[in-house]
Amino acid sequence: MKTILTLFAIFIHVTLIGQENKITTKLYDSYIKYKEPTLNKRRIKHKDLQTLITKLKSNPKYTIQKVGKSIEGRELNLISIGTGKINVLLWSQMHGDEPTATQAIFDIFNFFNSNDFLEEKTAILKNTTLHFLPMLNPDGAEVFTRRNRLGIDINRDALRLQAPESKTLKRIRDSLKADFGFNLHDQSTYYNAERTNKPATISYLAPAYNYEKEINGIRANAMRVIVYMNNIIQKYAKGQVGRYNDDFEPRAFGDNIQKWGTSTILIESGGFLNDIEKQEIRKLNYVSILSAIYTIANGDYKKIDIKDYEKIPQNDRKLFDLKIKKVNYKLLGKNYILDIGINHTEADNKTHTNFYNIGRVKDLGDLSTYYGYHTFDASDYTLVQGKIYPTVLKTEKSLQKLDIYKLLQLGYTYIKIKKLPNKKATKLPINMVSTKFKVPTLDIKEGLNPTFLLQKNGKITHAVINGFLVDVESKNNNFGNGLVLQK
């Protein structure tokens, strides 16, 4: 009897995997048809959504309600589609600088507006009613910051309900008595899947509803859907899924919404190699959310064993943008071997529509248990201080006439410009400085802006400019920006 039950479980698992492959492959391969082209960068604003929402108002499939306002008066809209008894609530960007899922939501609307996937869409819209609350924190999105205009974290306001945005989310959840809730966030790109060098591109959590972390039927259903989505993401980002810490946070919305009776699924969008604007991760959101909605609609998730939830590796935070391994570093006449971990901090422009990077040494020493999106083995290299180019150039245009890579090979990492451009950064792999600038003594420490050279057998082959590694020989680099230092 036990053998029969085991074979039946295997059959069910294989059947589910086959269904996953069928719809997810189609969703992934056809994604470009549905990607909303007007939302192509992370720093989207409330006004960017309004034209798209207005278009949806003319489509009878949707019900659009103004359900609240932010502190600064920006409208919060609930967008609903479907006629089924299963209510699914999806809310995004309660942190203003976490927009990946907001973009994916509008891709999902384009999917429902198309004439494709008729069988799947019929099943979804017949069995579920989907309610989307995109960009819950529009004031934070306006200045690309986590908190709202009051200065609080909305996701820690589920009990006190001081923010109007918090009150709106609570009221909507309660009025719908939602069966499932998708709490959509972005997390730091420096999370990795535990004990691996793989970024946690997507992390999931079925939040705990009490300190004991008990599992009732509500939370178990969230776990089942997460197992389903994990199997999907493994096809496209193998080993790049993490499980968020499930310590109970009594002030958090996810934990409370789980406690209030809605099976709540946290999705965190992390990092992906060379995906600065998170467009590949946006695609993974689109595919996994739609697939999850489909399995909720047809009920297949109920057959999934929650034991597989615990098999998802936990989130860890051991990634750097650049890790330099075992470089030789001379200090006060002695040689030391250092690993150097470097991160790139984003600095916004005045309108919070774009950014430039400022490199910082995050850590140094023995970093053998840490990883990098880019790792350079510098075992045979010596760290060398860069110099200022001896000729003062009149303008930035004069610099563009020079061979920058040749200058780096000669040891120059700074160029004095008489008339510096009024900006903070340059796409050239060198730093532009004022005529008064003096090269700081090379003293590697935490917080330092990393600009130096790497020398092997007396020859400079690589430079680190503002925390970005530059191969001066191949010139094949994934360079971000140098700095324009006005002082």
pLDDT tens-digit profile of 227-260?
A: 999 999 999 999 999 999 999 999 999 999 999 9
Examine the domain organization and report whether 172 and 212 are in the same domain: yes
Residue 14, pLDDT > 60, answer: no
Q: Are residues 219 and 334 in the same domain?
A: no
Average pLDDT, the chain: 95
What percent of the chain has pLDDT above 90?
Answer: 92
**pLDDT attached to residue 81:** 98
176 located within any domain: yes
- Domain endpoint, select from 282, 316, 350: 316
pLDDT digits (tens, 9 = 90+) for 377-436: 999 999 999 999 999 999 999 998 899 999 999 999 999 999 999 999 999 999 999 999
Residue 6 is assigned to a structural domain of this protein: no
Residues 148 and 258 placed together within one structural domain of the fold: yes
What is the predicted pLDDT for the residue at 12? 46
Residue 84 lies in a domain: yes
Is the pTM of the predicted complex or chain greater than 0.85?
A: yes
The answer to whether residue 7 is domain-embedded is no
Look at residue 439 and tell me whether its pLDDT is greater than 60. yes
Question: What digits encode the pLDDT tens for the residues 73-90?
Answer: 999 999 999 999 999 999
Q: What pLDDT digit, counting tens, does each position of 300-338 carry?
A: 999 999 999 999 999 999 999 999 999 999 999 999 999
Q: What are phi and psi of 359, to 5 degrees?
A: -75, 145
pLDDT at 18: 54
Residue 399, φ and ψ in degrees, nearest 5 = -65, -35
Assigned domain for 13 exists: no
pLDDT for 11: 46
Q: Any residues with CB less than 8 A from the CB of 411 and at least 6 apart, and which?
A: 384, 386, 387, 453, 460
My answer on whether 296 and 345 are in the same domain is no
**Is residue 69 located within the same domain as residue 148?**
yes
Instruction: Give the N- to C-terminal CA distance of the chain in Å, as an integer.
Output: 79
- Number of structural domains, the chain? 2
- Beta-ladder partners of 344: 359
What DSSP line would sit under 326-389, residue for residue? EEEEEETTEEEEEEEEEEEEEEE-TTSS-EEEEEEEEEEE--TT-EEEEEEE-TT-EEE--EE-
* pLDDT of 2 over the 80 cut: no
Residues 77 and 171 in one domain: yes
Clarify whether residues 284 and 341 are in a common domain: no
414: containing domain: 319-485
Does residue 57 form part of some domain? yes
Domain assignment present for 246? yes
The answer to whether residues 258 and 114 belong to one domain is: yes
Q: Please, what's the largest Cα pairwise distance for the chain?
A: 86
Sequence letter at residue 124? I
- Residues 441-457: tens digit of each pLDDT: 889 999 999 999 999 99
Residue 8 lies in a domain: no
Hey, is 484 helix, strand or coil? strand
| Residues 181 and 266 placed together within one structural domain of the fold | yes
